[in-house]
């Protein structure tokens, strides 16, 4: 199984999205999509007159903001991707982290309903995603999760993708709006490991959303004992593009 995470910026670029789904068709029996939609959520919250802020790349998510966040991610963003998948001849099924077998807990009081995914190394791998793939479906998972008492959570979509890949012991590819992680002069970096990530983060070269992404990719590479790739929409067609993250 390959978990492919799509950043929210792609939702606003139908041509790139179309090209990406065409390339996904060649791997349809093994791909699971996990998606974000941060820019769409931001628009919905602003339109509702709600001020939203981020702490270390995570959106502070008070309960009164949650219906907009859930509506944006599990609703509009998920269904925009379903539209594109159907138009590309694929058979999507829209899910949250809960149906994918990933449970969440509250990350911290100060972040409100931001969820932290719990990945068990002892429980058996849930069967649902493999069953869906076997029946020809393309699972499209939003980064909305639930706790054991039914509380809903907003999970950073990179963290959500890492958790799905870890739960299913799957390959992980993070697709974003830049061709690769870039160095201080804006050139793409082909490889990164723990040491270079620490240096570039401390130097402020890797920051904001990319910092969360790179840290997630590194923790997944360690846990899965394989490389994780960060790249742009055409990385499926060119597996050597983007940045390879290893331990
Ligand atoms: N060193 C870097 N290389 C590339 N992008 C970086 C870097 N540091 C910060 N960024 C920013 O991170 C962004 C990607 O993270 P993010 O916006 O969270 O993406 P996504 O929505 O795909 O998860 C890039 O568009 C860029 O503005
Ligand atoms: C807790 C948290 O930060 N959640 C993110 C979830 C969406 C996301 O991560 O979207 P991208 O992949 O497009 O950035 C948010 O509300 O923006």
What is the structure's pLDDT at 245? 98
ipTM above threshold 0.85: yes
Q: What is the CATH number of the domain that holds 203?
A: 3.40.1160.10
For ligand 2, mutation pick of 10, 65, 105, 154 (most atoms within 8 Å of CB)? 154
Kindly write down the DSSP assignment for every residue of 119-174, as one continuous string. Answer: --SSSPPPSHHHHHHHTT-EEEEESEEE-TTS-EEE--HHHHHHHHHHHHT-EEEE
What is the structure's pLDDT at 150? 98
Count of domains for the chain = 1
State mean pLDDT over 7-28.
Answer: 91
What is the structure's pLDDT at 57? 84
Confidence at 124, pLDDT banded by 50, 70, 90: confident
User: What torsion do the CA atoms of 144, 147, 151, 157 make, to the nearest 10 degrees?
Assistant: -20
pLDDT digits (tens, 9 = 90+) for 48-72: 999 999 998 899 999 999 999 999 9
User: Which residue is closest in CA terms to ligand 1's atom 23?
Assistant: 7
Confidence at 122, pLDDT banded by 50, 70, 90: confident
State mean pLDDT over 166-192.
Answer: 96
Q: Does the pTM exceed 0.90? A: yes
Residue range(s) defining the domain that contains residue 31: 2-245
Atom of ligand 1 nearest to the CA of 158: 23
User: Any idea which ligand is nearest the CA of 37?
Assistant: 2
Distance 210 CA to ligand 1 centre (A): 4
Q: 88-92, long-range: CB within 8 Å, 24+ apart, which pairs?
A: 88/18, 88/21, 88/22, 88/24, 88/25, 89/25, 90/21, 90/24, 90/25, 90/28, 90/138, 91/136, 91/137, 91/138, 92/137, 92/138, 92/139, 92/140
Which residue carries 């990945």 as its tokens? Answer: 119
Atom of ligand 1 nearest to the CA of 205: 1
Report the number of secondary-structure helices (H) and strands (E) in the chain: 8, 14
């Amino acid at each position: 199984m390959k978990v492919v995470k799509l950043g929210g910026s792609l939702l606003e670029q139908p041509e790139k999205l179309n090209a990406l789904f065409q390339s996904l068709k060649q791997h349809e029996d093994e791909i699971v999509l996990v998606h974000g939609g941060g820019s769409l959520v931001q628009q919905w919250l602003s339109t509702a007159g709600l001020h939203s802020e981020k702490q270390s790349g995570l959106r502070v998510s008070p309960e009164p903001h949650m219906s907009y966040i859930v509506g944006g991610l599990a609703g509009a963003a998920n269904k925009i991707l379903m539209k594109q998948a159907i138009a590309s001849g694929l058979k999507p099924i829209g899910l949250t982290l809960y149906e994918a077998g990933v449970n969440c807990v509250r990350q911290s009081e100060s972040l409100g309903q931001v969820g932290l995914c719990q990945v068990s190394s002892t429980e058996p791998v849930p069967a649902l995603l493999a069953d869906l793939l076997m029946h020809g479906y393309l699972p499209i998972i939003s980064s909305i999760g639930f706790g054991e008492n039914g509380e809903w959570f907003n999970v950073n979509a990179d963290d959500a993708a890492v958790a799905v890949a870890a739960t299913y012991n799957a390959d992980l590819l993070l697709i974003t709006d830049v061709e690769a992680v870039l160095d201080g002069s804006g050139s793409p970096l082909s490889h990164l490991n723990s040491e270079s990530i620490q240096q570039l983060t401390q130097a402020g070269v890797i920051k904001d959303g990319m910092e969360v992404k790179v840290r997630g990719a590194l923790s997944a590479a360690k846990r899965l004992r394989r490389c994780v790739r960060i790249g742009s929409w055409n990385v499926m067609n060119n597996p050597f593009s983007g940045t390879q993250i290893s331990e």
